[in-house]
Structure 1
Amino acid sequence: MVDVAAIDTQLFLFIQQFTGNTIIDFFFLTAAEILVLLVPAVLIYLWFESPESRKNSVFTFTATVSGI
């Protein structure tokens, strides 16, 4: 049987070992700041491009919100 808590702990410790690395920290902080602006811009673009794209925009928005 798989112990999900143990896998979760191992994954957390694996990710945590990379904290403090200035290159990785800079990359992910920059990506987070850019994506905050990029995702809404893409959704607006998809909304106004065509009726078919409007469906894609709604799907993308729903996926983004459910991912949060």
Structure 2
Amino acid sequence: MREINNITEKFLIDQIVLYYGTYDRFGNKYDEQMAYRRLEQLRVQKGLKDADEAVDYMIAVLDSGEAKLVS
């Protein structure tokens, strides 16, 4: 199993999930914008070509159990 060595990656993934969850629940535009901003930061950090690739990467990390989300 690959470890997440970069705390920033874990932070960004946690933030994306939290902001999107809050947006989904309350519909706050700020949370939507922040989720996309964090997704863009993850995309740039990992050298991915677009937001779809960043989402796929994030899902793969979450599915593999390598990232523990804030509960």
Query: Where on the TM-score scale, by shorter chain, does this alignment land: which range?
Result: 0.3 to 0.5
TM-score by length of 1: 0.35
From the CA coordinates, give the structure whose radius of gyration is larger: 1
The structure carrying a bigger helix percent of its residues is: 1
- Higher relative contact order, chain-length normalized (CA < 8 Å, sep 6+): 2
